[in-house]
Every structure is written in C-alpha cells, then in structure tokens.
Amino acid sequence: MINRPIDKLNIKLKYGTPIIGTHVSLAEHCITEVMGETGFEFVWIDWEHSAMDRRDVQNHLIAARAAGIAAFVRVPWNDPVLVKPILEMGPDGVVFPMIRTAEEARAAVASCLYPPKGIRGYGPRRANNYGAMSGDEYLRQVETSFWKIMQIEHVDAVKNLDEILTVDGVDTIVVGPNDLSGSAGLLTQTRHPEVLALLDEIAEKCRDHKKPFGVSLGFAKETIEDWKRRGCAWIACGGDTGYLYEGAVGTYKNVKEIMNG
C-alpha cells in the first residue's frame, strides 16, 4: 500500500510521468493547502530566500500532509545544524543549495543518515509520527522516506557533475538556472547560448548516469518546452508571491477598465 506522498512521486519517476510542483515562500501555511487543491503534486518550501522561521516551515509541512501532496524544504546552506531540525519535521525532500563538488554532496547525504552511514543525531519528532511509529519501523523506512536533492547552480558543479551523480545516497539533482548563469558571469541571462549549453550538458550527464533531475524556475512556455526536451523528470515552477502579484494586477486592471470605460 502506498501511504506516503514520496511513494507516489517515486512511482511517477518509475513510469516517466512528469511531476509538477510549485514554490512557497510566504509564511501563511494555508497557501500550501491552496496549492494542493490546484493539482500540484508537491510544494517547494523555500527556507533559503524567505523570511520564514522553522515553525513556519513545519506548519507548511503539516498543511502539505493535509492536502495530500509532497513537500520539499530548501535549507539555507549545506550545514548539518540547519538540516537536522528540518529532518525531524518529516519532509518529503531536502534541497541542498549550491552543491559544487562530490565532497559537498557526500556531506549533505551524511547529514541525512544515521550512523554508521552518516552523522545525523537521533531525535525524530514529527518524522516518526510523534512516536506512533515504532523505532524499528522508523529506521527501516527512514532512508527512503525523503529525497536527498542536490541543487546544481554553479559552473564548478557542472564540471564536477559526473562525480556528484555517483555519490551514494543522492536521489536526484535540481538545476538552479539563475545562479548558474550568474556563476558564468551572465546573471539572469538563462537563455544565453553559453548558459543553454551548460543546461544541456547537465541533462546529458544525468541521462548518462540514469539519474533523474528536476529544475526550479518561473513560467515561460519556451523554457518549459526546453526542459521537456532535455528529459526533466520533475519541475518546480512559479510561486506564491508571483501568483499574488499577477492576480492582483490582473484584477486591478480589469476593474479599472470597467469603471473608466
């Protein structure tokens, strides 16, 4: 029986079914419930670039469970001190930003695993359903209960990607096009030929290693089509602040046209 949202995503990966999610950066956890109602299959809770605190992150994870969708948390940095409390909240994935070497990827994986495989301290809270799950049951499934996601967003990472992809415990990678373009001296120029070549190289290496990959970006039809062509398995697209702004601007313009017409 499939009980966990991550199991549903794993089945989609197995059969090559696209997985579509979106970003959440505002603290109000009802936003995650709304995203679940729209049909998104996961939310990317962005703890790196937002004003959210750990309580806000946990509330989003609770809302995701209520909505029946998976939830990934991007931590601010590849630091076990930051990762550990997030793991205790029971996310479906942890995104490690700015992974540039295999050594950094190994450190990220180690922070997620208990000894002897890793360095994670034992203290599950929500991760073992507040104790409803026995210790033995929890340990049997803990390594498969969430994705360990390495974010590739620097030219150094592309150079080292073959080694990163062979690190045991790396479940998937995700591309960050904006910071990748910045590391090439072309910040936000994600359709510059030099950047497009880097993105194609990432996809080619992932295919060679049979490692699923995702991408985090906004919405542009041409860009989405490019990632489909590259064989992207999952995509985090758009986000709450953009939806709020676009909806507000659209409403204001429509009402203004009516009232002034």
Name the residues annotated as catalytic.
49
Residue 54 has phi, psi (to 5 degrees) of -65, -35
Tell me the CA distances in angstroms from 78 to 58, 81, 105, one per residue in order. Answer: 19, 9, 9
User: Which residues 6+ apart lie within 8 Å of 113 measured at CB?
Assistant: 119, 120, 143, 169
User: Which residues 6+ apart lie within 8 Å of 32 measured at CB?
Assistant: 24, 43, 45, 60, 63, 64, 67, 69, 71
Q: Write out the H or E segment, with its range, that includes residue 238.
A: strand 234-239
Check residue 115 and report its DSSP letter.
T
Check residue 127 and report its DSSP letter.
G
Does residue 74 sit in helix, strand or coil?
Answer: strand
Beta-carbon count within 10 A of 259 CB: 7
